[in-house]
Structure 1
Amino acid sequence: MRLLLLLTLLLITDSCGTSKGVTTENMSKFREENPTFSTQFENNVKDIYLEKEMYGDFIFAVVDENGLAYSFALNREILQGKESSLNNDAPIYIASSTKSFTGTLLKILEEDNVLDLNKSLHEYLPELDFKDSIDTKNITIKNLLNHTHGTFSTPMTWKTAFLGYSGGNKELINDMNTDFLFDPSGRYRYSNVGPIVAGMVAEKVTGKNWKKLMEEHIFSPLNMKNTSAHVSDFDFKDIRPSLTVTKERGIVEKGFYKSDITMHASGGIISTINDMSKWLAANINQDKTLLDDDSWEELHTSTATQDKKYYTYQRSGYSLGWDIAKYKNNKILTRFGGLAGISFHISFMPDKNIGVIAFSNDNRAYLLPHLMANYAYNIINEQPADSILKIEKTSFDKSVKRENDIQYPDDSEVLAANNGNDKIIGTYKNTENWPIIKIYKEGGHYIFNWGVLKGKIFRSDKGGYRSNLGVLSRNFQIKKDSLLTGSLIYKK
């Protein structure tokens, strides 16, 4: 059956092509300057997609100083010549690429004399005092944006990214004040905390929340009409979902695991290829619609040192939202993001006035956007692109194999609903203000509902129970009226 599918797909790949909404004039110019690009690029993407028997979406764009220059979309529907909703206007979640938007927003507010990035957290948000264990007079807003602030809070991070909360910024500040870690070294330590707190500062000084400020200062000026920090602004079924996939079972889980409350300043934007092309072009051009030259310079220049390698990118610094790296001796600014099966890539080479955007949602293919971004750059920069692709693909191959080998529970392991198991049903509360857990019966099984996330309950090999909540799996035990998950204790 699998061989038949592959042969069928190979026979009808001529229906693959460019997505809707491409800027025709700029696309024609790009094709004239890069006559073999589309053939080389598309053939290799199709080959990889078929070789790995991928599911889900891959969508890609090249952007230059004039905007969108090339785009290409691929999934099983397109390969089979069927109508697909995957195109340049399909809503995609950009995850941690949001951080570059937040850094830009705060720089805009500084340019407007609303705040000063070199002033302290204490001055703008004195209620965040970490019970006086940390001198927040020594943490600047810039430290928050470039991950040198040294603070971390598990409950705040989990609530904003996964579980949700009901008490607004006041609840999150209380979480940080009561449950935190601190590194006083001032070294770069990447997390969601800094940009989220910077978003709180922006709200404090303007009286408008981060989501509204993004709309007013970035989305609207750049005419990004299909971009929002609210999930509810989209038809939920149109948002490209996360896919959890294995070679043997195909799609194990499918869903989009974000809601309005978990869209935040470190990972809270849904956009489209067309709109993200406007954003990337604004960065390539240092568009005066948003900022002046000096402000753009700081946004694109390292303000913190790092020495890390991710895939093929040797990172040397971090600006206020972009990783500063090298690829094939070219300076490249990157900002990647992921959630469950979603992998998002956006980058540009400022000295070449060229950038790329790539998205995939098959969890096994999280390196595919980076692999094909490199391939595109190498074609455009007249490097031996095919031989480099062959070398770089080895890491991709290994990552796909690792993901294929992961064992996920199947329906045979579902905890069956019966009178004996009904004792676990109930509402469980935690004294440290973590979101409540509800366990209830649905059909012939049980649901574990933690905050805004929920999933079926399975028997655990280690004893107790397990639930897959889409973005994470959680093991737990229930003893009498107590539910224990990790270090957290809940009472019925």
Structure 2
Amino acid sequence: MQKKILIIVFTVLTISVFGQTKQEKLSELLNAYNKLNEFNGTALITQNGITLLDKGYGYKNVETKESNIPNTIFQIGSITKQFTSTIILKLAERKKLKLTDKLSKYYPDFPQGNEITIFNLLTHTSGIYNYTNDVEFMKSEAVKPANEKKMLAVFKNKKLDFTPGSQYSYSNSGYMLLGYIIQKVTKQSYEKTVREYIFKPLKMNNSGFDFVNLNNTNKATGYFTITDKNSIKAALVDSSVSFAAGAIYTTTADLLKWHIGILNNSIVKRTSIEKAFTPYKNRYGYGWIIDSTSTKRITTHGGGIFGFNANIARVEQDDICIILLNNVGNPKLEDITKDIFSILYDKPYKLPESKAEIKISSEILNKYIGTYEVMPEFKIEVNVENGQLVAQATGQPKFELFAQKENYFFLKAVEAEVEFVSNDKGAVEQLILYQGGRKTPAKKTK
């Protein structure tokens, strides 16, 4: 699913360590992120069949003070997509469908369905509107059960973002359609097919779909944020809404079985796996992101859903698997993964350090009060409460902003930075939100 708009920021301190084993370095790294509330979950790191780290960090439930352990169960959001794509490839191997099949074969009345292929759905090149971009729907309907008709109504009649195949744009709608196509072809539920084709053969016994109704003492509680002061619990997205784009829950141990299953060609043939691992537009394969910039091929994917964040990264050449599952919805895991790779390949790495805050006068803070519009349906309200600048985006919790410079702020609870931009007369005209390498402007409307 889509990532949350606000996330935690920190600087880093270069370190030089001598005499530490890789296990000790990995443990030190994850502990450092955990102390800054940057990682709260479980980590499993293996190389050549040897477990280097298998540990829980922080709380699976803040209120009851129950700790995360290796067996804690998390939602994994968009990592679900690689399971969906594998089922599609399995059906293609069995000649139940073709990747060149038109969407119109399965949905004759889908607008421009004769121009969209299963390949386009797999690679996010269909141009179909991403339903999780509908802020109002996600705010009011995501927690409710939804059937196929209701979900199709969210995106089916939206104008395509571009001519199919010409560009890349991440679309959960495309993977939702793949799930429905799987049901049409197999004549059984998507969930039953995944269990039959993948979970059961690989003995992924702690994996499933309906997290809302899961009754298991190892189930983690999802949070928008966890800080030293407080925590904000997240509502759970119904599995019928996240579906084939992001409904799976699992453990690190089960995902390691998934890694081994891929490595051993247990589910689909190696030729199919290589198709999935081929980077098409924007380095995206079939449910995997492929990093071909280094001499070794890294296959990876993250997943974010209300209250949860996950990442899996693999280097088959060296039998490396990095699995990070987090029950706080901030996407810092890609950065942690990069640091882990640095340790595994004996490269320089850095430990995180909290950012310093400076004091700003109330006169300056009051200048920033107002409504800032990213798009008509997504706005950011900025106010001053008890001398503290706070911001609240549409459909999201309220967060405190801490000054790094007079017009530049960071968040402690989630990873984001905010810059306020003024005109020549000193009037604030817009803010710029910095998140995950993206720069998002928001015009001040009042």
Match of 1:305 in 2: 281
Contact preservation (8 Å) 1:341, 1:362: yes
1: CA distance, partners of 2:383 / 2:20: 56
Displacement of 1:169: 1.5
For 1:70, what is the secondary structure of its paired residue? strand
- Contact in 2 for aligned 1:342/1:366 (Cα 8 Å): no
Paired with 1:40 and 1:65, the residues of 2 have a C-alpha distance of: 18
> Helix, strand or coil for the counterpart of 1:96?
helix
Quick one: structure 1 residues 362 and 231, their matched pair in 2 at CA, closer, same or farther if it must change by over 3 Å?
Answer: closer
Q: Deviations over 1:330-361 (max 9, x none)?
A: 32111001124422110112322212001223
Counterpart in the other structure of 1:44: 29
| In 1: Cα distance, 2:50 partner to 2:184 partner | 35
Tell me the CA shift for residue 218 of structure 1: 1.0
List per-residue Cα deviations over 1:183-218 (Å, max 9, x = no partner).
116211112011111111111122112112111111
CA deviation vs aligned residue, 1:212-269 (integer Å, no higher than 9, x gap): 2111111111110110012256227743222233757421x11451233334111110
* 1:109 aligned partner: 91
Q: Does 1:125 align with 2:115?
A: no
In the alignment, is the contact (CA less than 8 A) between 2:30 and 2:39 conserved in 1? no
Alignment CA distance shift 1:181-1:139 (3 Å): closer
SS in 2 for 1:258: coil
Q: Report the residue type matching 2:204 in the other structure.
A: M
**Bigger fraction of residues in helix:** 1
Q: 1:88 to 1:45 in 2, by over 3 A?
A: closer
Look up the match of 1:320: 286
Counterpart of 1:294? 271
Residue 127 (structure 2) pairs with residue 150 (structure 1): yes
Aligned residue identity for 1:143 = N
Identity percentage of aligned residues: 21
| Equivalent residue, structure 2, for 1:275 | 254
How many residue pairs are counted as aligned between the two chains? 345
User: Given the alignment, which residue of 208, 218, 240 partners 2:198?
Assistant: 218
Distance in 1 between the 2:42 and 2:122 partners?
Answer: 29
Structure 1 257/108 Cα, relative in aligned 2: closer, same or farther at 3 Å?
Answer: same
* Equivalent AA in structure 2 for residue 115 of structure 1: L
Partner Cα separation in structure 2 for residue 236 and residue 77 of structure 1:
12
Kindly provide the CA deviation profile for residues 280-306 of structure 1, in whole angstroms up to 9, marking residues without a partner as x: 2222x1x3320112111111112x221
Amino acid at match of 1:389: K
Greater relative contact order: 1 or 2 (C-alpha under 8 angstroms, separation 6 or more)? Answer: 2
Confirm or deny that 1:198 pairs with 2:183: no
RMSD: 3.6
Say if 1:180 and 1:236 are closer, same or farther in 2 by CA, change over 3 A: farther
Give the 3-state SS of the residue equivalent to 1:108 in structure 2: helix
Question: Alignment partner for residue 171 of structure 1, among 126, 133, 150?
Answer: 150
Aligned residue in 2 for 1:8:
none
- Structure 1 gaps of 5+ residues are 1-33, 307-316, 402-458, 463-467, 475-492
Residue aligning to 2:72: 90
* In 1: Cα distance, 2:156 partner to 2:57 partner: 47
Alpha-carbon spacing, 1:49–1:67, altered in 2? closer, same or farther (3 Å):
closer
TM-score normalized by the length of structure 2: 0.68
Change (3 A) 1:153 1:347: closer
Structure 2 residue 207 is the aligned partner of structure 1 residue 227 = yes
Unaligned runs of 5+ in 2: 1-18, 358-380, 385-391, 399-446
Aligned to 1:71: 54
2:243 corresponds to which of 264, 267, 279: 264
Q: How far is the alpha carbon of 1:157 from its aligned partner?
A: 6.1
Stretch of structure 1 that moved more, 240-249 or 94-103: 240-249
Assess if the C-alpha contact under 8 Å between 1:94 and 1:338 holds in 2. yes
Instruction: Determine the C-alpha separation between the residues in 1 that align with 2:225 and 2:138.
Output: 26
User: Is 1:189 aligned with 2:169?
Assistant: yes
